[in-house]
């Protein structure tokens, strides 16, 4: 999966580069174009390479990212720019409700335990990780003077540092599905010990105007080395950005 994504990203990016270089390299007048802006991302997440013991739920796992970015056009050809900045990335992975992700465990590896069909359990279970992230992108604009009416392409990487990780379980029910403490009952358990302290994600975007479709593949494992199965995160969604 990793090699496939890297190959697609490489072909796509260099295809854009070759196409742009075949046209005039005359720089456009960028007077009035903003140099900094906010970038928002929403979409779906999943863990890939999961073993049979890790049962993801049927609900939509999701992310929300927000970054403050600075955009610096290339002097030789301002259809290209490099963008960098910082912000926060949040990921929510939902599990099958018969799965207990035991963050409070003292075990050497993170336990993903299956709950017996006749036992009480939570109706909804998710794992949330929050990373402080620094994205870096190489961008291409078909119309650099007017990004709002331009086709846009970007490829890059995000480096992140774990800020918080926790499980959130909601609505404790019995074997027949009846709520025990009420549907608003929530249990949160926080522990960063099992999750990778650093996050390196390869990214790609393509779109028009302020909207683009984005994908991301996390090269670093979800869990720390030796603390559980080797799994990676894949995300896809929509980016809202002025540049």
Residue ranges covered by each domain of the chain: 2-21+36-241
**Per-residue pLDDT at 130 exceeds 70:** yes
Q: Select from 146, 67, 54 the least CA-distant residue to 94.
A: 54
- Confidence (pTM): 0.86
Strand-pairing partners, residue 162, are: 131
pLDDT attached to residue 196? 97
User: In whole angstroms, how far apart are CA 98 and each of 61, 169, 175?
Assistant: 17, 11, 11
Average pLDDT over residues 105-128: 92
Residue range 190-230, pLDDT digits in tens: 999 999 999 999 999 999 999 999 999 999 999 999 999 99
Residues 122-137: what's their mean pLDDT?
96
Share of the chain above pLDDT 70, in %: 89
Structure confidence at residue 24 as a pLDDT band (50, 70, 90): very low
Q: What is the pLDDT of residue 40?
A: 97
Q: What is the pLDDT of residue 5?
A: 52
Question: If pLDDT is split at 50, 70 and 90, which confidence band does 31 have?
Answer: confident
Q: What contacts 85, CB < 8 A, 6 or more positions away? A: 36, 39, 67, 68, 69, 70, 134, 135
Please report, for residues 9, 47, 155, 213, the alpha-carbon distance to residue 4 in angstroms, rounded to integers and kept in the order given: 9, 16, 15, 18
Q: Residue 189 and residue 206: Cα distance in Å, rounded?
A: 38
Per DSSP bridges, beta strands 232-241 and 36-48 are antiparallel
pLDDT level of residue 83 (50, 70, 90 thresholds): very high
Average pLDDT of the chain is 89
């Amino acid at each position: 999966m990793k090699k496939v994504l890297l190959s697609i990203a490489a072909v796509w990016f260099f295809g854009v580069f070759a196409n742009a270089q075949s046209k005039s390299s005359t720089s456009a007048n960028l007077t009035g174009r903003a140099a900094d802006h906010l970038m928002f991302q929403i979409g779906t997440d999943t863990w890939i390479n999961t073993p049979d013991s890790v049962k993801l739920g049927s609900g939509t796992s999701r992310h929300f990212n927000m970054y403050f970015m600075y955009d610096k056009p290339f002097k030789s050809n301002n259809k290209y720019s490099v963008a960098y900045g910082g912000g926060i990335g949040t990921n929510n992975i939902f599990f099958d409700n018969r799965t207990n992700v035991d963050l409070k465990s003292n075990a050497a590896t993170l336990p993903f335990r299956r709950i017996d069909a006749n036992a009480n359990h939570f109706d909804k279970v998710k794992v949330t990780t929050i990373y402080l992230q620094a994205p870096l992108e190489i961008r291409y604009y078909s119309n650099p003077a007017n990004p709002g009416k331009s086709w846009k392409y970007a490829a890059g990487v995000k480096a992140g540092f774990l800020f918080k990780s926790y499980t959130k379980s909601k609505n404790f029910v019995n074997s027949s599905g009846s709520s025990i403490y009420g549907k608003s009952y929530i249990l949160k358990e926080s522990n960063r010990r099992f999750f990778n302290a650093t996050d390196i994600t390869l990214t790609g975007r393509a779109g028009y105007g302020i909207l683009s479709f984005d994908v991301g593949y996390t090269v670093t494992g979800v869990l720390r080395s030796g603390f559980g199965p080797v799994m990676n995160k894949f995300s896809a969604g929509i980016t809202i950005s002025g540049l």
